[in-house]
Amino acid sequence: MRTSRTVWPVGDTSTQLVTVSGPDHPGIAGRLFAALASLDSVILDVEQVHVHGRLLLCVEIDRWQGEPGDLSAVLIDALGPLGAGLDVAASALDATADNPGGAGHLVTLLAPQLKTEDLAGVCARIAASGANIDRIVRLSSYPVNSYELAVSGGDPALLRSNLVEEAARRGVDVAVQQAGLHRRAKHLIVLDADSTLLQGEVIDQLAERAGCGEHVASITASAMAGALDFGDALEARVALLGGLNASVLDEVAADLVLAPGARTLVRTLKRLGYVTAIVTGGFVQVIDRLANELGIDHVAANELEIAHGRLTGRLVGPRVDRAGKAAALVRFAELAGVPLAQTIAVGDGANDLDMLATAGLGIAYNAKPVVRRAADTALNVPYLDAILFMLGISREEIEAADEASKTGD
């Protein structure tokens, strides 16, 4: 390996793209950068990918005087025995060419099964939006397949509309988010409870025990679809519960069934430093036990009035309705010191619309059509932890965090 500085004949300096590809071994990058340092090169950009033992390392450098072939020869010599089987190439770049300067958006593609034609369709729509794909990373193969694409350039509004249309055509989920350091900053995630964090609706379970299950379920369905005002529907349903023994609340709380992946979602986000909250039109007497079990930081829910050991059919305290949900998100963000741009809201019903619109990222989870159309992105798989992939967290990172917790690392 050359350790002395090489001086080339004076001439016009040029920007070069150095590409190293082939079988990967420890020490390749170190030797390559040492060689570039000896040439007094300035590194403008670096990208390295390792796939099944194969390396692709790209380095953009400035201040090179000489031919690209000369640079390749120097680097091959510097790699020595590590260069065996590697392809090392240098090519001049046009310094005046337009460079978008890094990814502007992150596109997440997700489905139980992703076919080659799905990837082809999404990539074609990105190109049709005037954008370029800078990087593709596979995030998971279980319980769903997901990929993250770093995209630069193009019209963001056109990109979103094109991808929403393509996703609907192919029956896959696509999310488009702004790239940047904010993604790694402190976040707040707010989860609806009924039919989101939980399977089913708590009020429907209470109504079954009160003997008015079908009546309440029909009102619930109309309210969640946006056909009825949620506040009016809530009071009408609660009134039907009047006279129910309050001990039933404990029974329902004990029978709650979480959505698949709910524990993984909450556990992983808490390990990553997220602030967690449940904001629900349901009832605090039922939800508090679940929140304590999961270690949820904040809860906003309605409170049922109880007198002489029975439900009165009325609520007490402020209502957590459509507007109340959005207000709770804002309040919890202020308490956590998290900007609204770094909040995430997840819900399924029409009473979640204001909350989803207020959050930095609103996710419609197996939601009603009116909610899917309004949210930033829709997730239509029955696994709540798939939200992690929307946030750029890979399956390998989730499993590594679980393993570290077992060993105490």
Identify the sign of the CA torsion 302, 339, 161, 386: negative
- The answer to whether residue 376 is catalytic is no
Active-site annotation holder among 194, 204, 321, 376: 194
Catalytic residue of the set 118, 173, 192, 204: 192
Which of 327, 328, 402, 335 is closest to 186 using CA atoms? 335
**Euclidean distance between the first and final Cα of the chain, in Å?**
39
Residue 385 a catalytic site member: no
Q: Pick left, alpha or beta for residue 308 (phi over 0 → left; psi -120 to 50 → alpha; otherwise beta).
A: left
Name residues whose C-beta falls within 8 Å of residue 218's C-beta, 6 or more positions apart in sequence. Answer: none
Catalytic residue set: 192, 194
